[in-house]
Amino acid sequence: MAVYHAAVATLLLGAAAIAAPSQAETIKVTIDRLAYAPAEIEAKVGDEIEWINKDSLIHTATVKGGAQVLLPAKKSGRLRLQEPGSFDYICRYHPNMKGRITVRP
C-alpha cells in the first residue's frame, strides 16, 4: 500500500511540475548612442522589460496610444508585459530611435 501511495504521489507531483507556469524573465534593452539594443525583442506575457539608459540624455520607451517608460540619463526603467501582441515603440524626444516588442501569450 505504501508503494502505491508513493507511486500516486510521484505521478501527482510530476504532473504538477509539468503544469506549473514558466518563470517570468527580465529582458534587458540597452540604450547607447541614441539606439535601443537589441531593437527587436520577443517576450511572453508576464515578462519584464528593463531599459538601461547609458546615454547622458533623457529618453523614453513610448508605445503610440499606450505605455510610456521615462528613462532619465544614466538610469533604467521597467515595464511588465500584460498582453500579447506586437508593439512598436519610440523615444518621444528622439523619434528616430525605434524598437519593437513581440509578446506571446
Contacting residues for 10 by C-beta, under 8 A, at least 6 apart:
none
Q: Compute how many other C-beta atoms are within 10 angstroms of the C-beta atom of residue 46.
A: 15
For the chain, the structural domain boundaries read 24-104
- 81 within 8 A of 46, measured Cβ to Cβ: yes
Helix locations, 2-103, DSSP H: 2-19
Beta 26-31 vs 48-53: how paired, if at all?
A: parallel
pLDDT tens sequence for the chain (105 residues): 544 444 333 333 444 444 456 799 999 999 999 999 999 999 999 999 999 999 999 999 999 888 999 999 999 999 999 999 999 999 999 999 999 999 999
CATH of region 24-104: 2.60.40.420
